[in-house]
Amino acid sequence: MNTRFEDRTDAGERLAAVLTQFRERPDAIILGLARGGIPIAAAAAKALYLPLGAVLVRKLGIPGHDETAYGALAWSQGRVVRLLNRPLVTRILEQGVRREWLDQVENRERAELLRRVGRYPGTGHDLTGRTVLLLDDGLATGATMRAAAEAVRAGGAAQVVAAAPVGSLEAEAAVLTVCDAVLCLHLPGKFRAVGSFYRHFEQLTDDEAISLLRQ
């Protein structure tokens, strides 16, 4: 299999091809992690004839090393779900990162999460008893996917399946602790940045993500 994806739509279509057991299932719904997971989810939902929605998530990045997450926030059922990698937090505090710096990161990301709540459609689905497929464009640390899984569990989901085109082995293992199943099309032994597995990986805007959800 070609392990480089043309763009997020291509990746979503390829994910749909291995999720056919969920095609037209009346209890199933696909939720994309906003923003990067929404084009993935939109393409998969279209191919599988399933309803589409979104989970609002924000990564909590280590100050000075923003790509490395020490936790994540997700929005569900009118509240913020917070997930922390506590061993990592302890380690970075011991290495000189100050607690107030982490508080600043969380306050900023919480404000951005709440800003999106009023704008994004597809975040208010009743998930009680449903099978929820959570789709993102990649699993680097798994922090945002884990937060999303906790959020939809809190919303009453009966089964949670996480899927992404590419992921690290560590992220897959971490996500599996909170999901019923995890599917990654590509699990490279040496993981690079998620964007390195795509030919086109432009940052999505709010307007583009919202447009896909409204379609």
pLDDT in tens, 97-140: 999 999 999 999 999 999 999 899 888 899 999 999 999 999 99
What pLDDT is attached to residue 124? 86
Q: Are 51 and 125 in contact (CB under 8 A)?
A: yes
pLDDT higher than 90, residue 212: yes
What pLDDT is attached to residue 102? 95
6-10, 64-68, 162-166: segment of lowest average pLDDT: 64-68
pLDDT higher than 90, residue 77: no
- Other CB atoms closer than 10 Å to residue 110's CB: what's the count? 16
Given its phi and psi angles, is residue 183 left (phi above 0), alpha (psi -120 to 50 degrees) or beta? beta
pLDDT higher than 60, residue 2: no
Q: How are beta strands 79-84 and 181-186 bridged, if at all? A: unpaired
In angstroms, rounded to a whole number, what is the distance separating the alpha carbons of residues 166 and 30?
18
